[in-house]
A = this chain, B = another copy of it.
């Protein structure tokens, strides 16, 4: 029976109770070739940590359903919340190798250099937001791996496991593929563990974890104070949101003539995307009462409800607050062939969170890049992304607020918060325009739609979606 150094066990308990208390989320990656001792090491680690806040996350060979989600989605899904610890038995690195070597991404051409980028961005984003990532690479010499396999081979009950190891070792050169990552200049370094003898390997793994966490405890969690002003101009004037609203109108008769055809086409497109396994991500932002809900409604009217979801974004729950701000959205992205509507979205980070000071200045500023990286990772996994900003003018908003107030069936839609937001009209304009300038990309463009005329806005959005989808479908 292996005896783990009791002192190390006590110390790892102590530091992880401390990181729990401080709310530091920790991700410990354990990579290594088949039969190199990963299981034994990670079991020792799993046993030493408090099961109340430790998750053991194994990256299995992907199943059909896994392949229908963006490359990083599984890891978003399992992201530890503040103070929790993940042991990643194999991680996105193993997944990268499996996907690439097996060539099993479904029907989309994957650029693996881009995926590598996305992996690095993912780590950066997490580290910048206070996640502690500790990476181990377990190495064992050939004879040690072989001895382990032979031992399993000798037991009739465990024989199949030996054969699985053998198969994995022969079928792809895991170690060769890993080299590029081990040599890479990632900001998050690897610690190599030589597995000769279990006790020693475990102790060395524990020591590294303790060391890293002790340093981290000392430097603490991000602690910049929120600055109150959020960098706003004195008297900001709309620059992007300047329209001749009189021109952007569609008459009711024309609207009734055009709409059904577009809705029919949208329905066809849903089925085509489904067949081609392309996910479609639709983002709707805009002022209160700009007509986001009604716009989405016209688009989904004839769709098959088993193939789309509407995600309406409210204030975050406690659980959502205890995760990275992208978590609650990343876990809701549509799988391939499905459509995800986002009625408000991750852009809340640089709108309401900036304006209300919920995010610190350096946080929301950094988010422009994080959001672009996130959207890039969706794009790299095959998604079409279309983002709408529905803009209306201040008088029109007031009129709609008053309409709601006076109609008992709509009064519930209007809250005190809407009035409070209205008082900050200029701040919203500035933040929204900054956002559009910073985050409109070829992969995920913004469309600013003048929304004073609801009919015009609905027809325009529908047309843009159809256009974007047709471009991709014809490109195949």
Question: CA–CA, A56 to B157, complex, Å?
Answer: 44
Question: CA–CA, A260 to B2, complex, Å?
Answer: 10
Q: Is A174 an interface residue (CB 8 A)?
A: no
Q: Is A303 an interface residue (CB 8 A)?
A: yes
Assess whether A17 is in contact with B157, with CB atoms less than 8 Å apart. Answer: no
Given contacts A43-B300, A46-B310, 11 further A-B contacts (CB under 8 A): A1-B260, A39-B305, A51-B312, A52-B312, A89-B305, A89-B306, A155-B268, A157-B271, A158-B268, A160-B271, A317-B318
Assess whether A157 is in contact with B51, with CB atoms less than 8 Å apart. Answer: no
Write the nearest CB–CB distance from A437 to chain B, whole angstroms: 29
Write the nearest CB–CB distance from A338 to chain B, whole angstroms: 10
When distances are taken between beta carbons in the complex, the residues of chain B under 8 Å from A275 are 160
Q: Considering only CB atoms, which chain B residue lies closest to A81 in the complex?
A: B317
Q: Is A309 an interface residue (CB 8 A)?
A: yes
Question: CA–CA, A260 to B302, complex, Å?
Answer: 64
Q: Is A146 an interface residue (CB 8 A)?
A: no
Q: Is A78 an interface residue (CB 8 A)?
A: no
A1-B259, A268-B157 given as contacts; is B304 within 8 A of A39 (CB)?
A: yes
Q: Which 10 A-B pairs have the closest CB atoms?
A: A51-B312, A51-B310, A58-B306, A43-B305, A52-B312, A10-B409, A157-B268, A46-B305, A39-B304, A52-B314
Question: Footprint of B on A, CB under 8 Å?
Answer: 1, 10, 13-14, 17, 39, 42-43, 46-47, 50-52, 56, 58, 60, 63-65, 87, 89, 155, 157-158, 160-161, 259-260, 263, 268, 271-272, 275, 297, 300-306, 309-312, 314, 317-319, 343, 409, 412
Write the nearest CB–CB distance from A51 to chain B, whole angstroms: 4
Assess whether A300 is in contact with B47, with CB atoms less than 8 Å apart. Answer: yes
A and B contact pairs by CB, cutoff 8 A, 26 listed: A1-B260, A1-B301, A13-B409, A13-B412, A17-B412, A39-B304, A39-B306, A43-B304, A46-B305, A47-B297, A47-B300, A50-B312, A51-B310, A52-B314, A56-B309, A58-B305, A58-B306, A60-B306, A63-B64, A64-B64, A87-B305, A157-B271, A160-B275, A317-B318, A318-B318, A319-B319
When distances are taken between beta carbons in the complex, the residues of chain B under 8 Å from A300 are 43, 47
Assess whether B319 is in contact with A272, with CB atoms less than 8 Å apart. Answer: no
Assess whether B409 is in contact with A301, with CB atoms less than 8 Å apart. Answer: no
Assess whether B314 is in contact with A317, with CB atoms less than 8 Å apart. Answer: no
When distances are taken between beta carbons in the complex, the residues of chain B under 8 Å from A52 are 312, 314
When distances are taken between beta carbons in the complex, the residues of chain B under 8 Å from A87 are 305
Q: Considering only CB atoms, which chain B residue lies closest to A300 in the complex?
A: B47
Write the nearest CB–CB distance from A264 to chain B, whole angstroms: 9
Q: Considering only CB atoms, which chain B residue lies closest to A52 in the complex?
A: B312
Question: CA–CA, A46 to B272, complex, Å?
Answer: 22
Assess whether A301 is in contact with B47, with CB atoms less than 8 Å apart. Answer: yes
When distances are taken between beta carbons in the complex, the residues of chain B under 8 Å from A43 are 300-305
Write the nearest CB–CB distance from A261 to chain B, whole angstroms: 11
Residue from B161, B260, B304 within 8 A of A271 (CB atoms): B161
Write the nearest CB–CB distance from A427 to chain B, whole angstroms: 25
Question: CA–CA, A343 to B53, complex, Å?
Answer: 13
Question: CA–CA, A60 to B10, complex, Å?
Answer: 48
Question: CA–CA, A242 to B465, complex, Å?
Answer: 72
Interface centre among A52, A63, A87, A300 (most CB of B within 10 A): A52
Write the nearest CB–CB distance from A459 to chain B, whole angstroms: 14
Question: CA–CA, A271 to B303, complex, Å?
Answer: 46
Question: CA–CA, A301 to B300, complex, Å?
Answer: 53
Residue from B13, B63, B89, B311 within 8 A of A65 (CB atoms): B63
Question: CA–CA, A301 to B259, complex, Å?
Answer: 65
Assess whether B89 is in contact with A271, with CB atoms less than 8 Å apart. Answer: no
Interface centre among A1, A14, A64, A87 (most CB of B within 10 A): A1
A63-B64, A311-B51 given as contacts; is B158 within 8 A of A271 (CB)?
A: yes
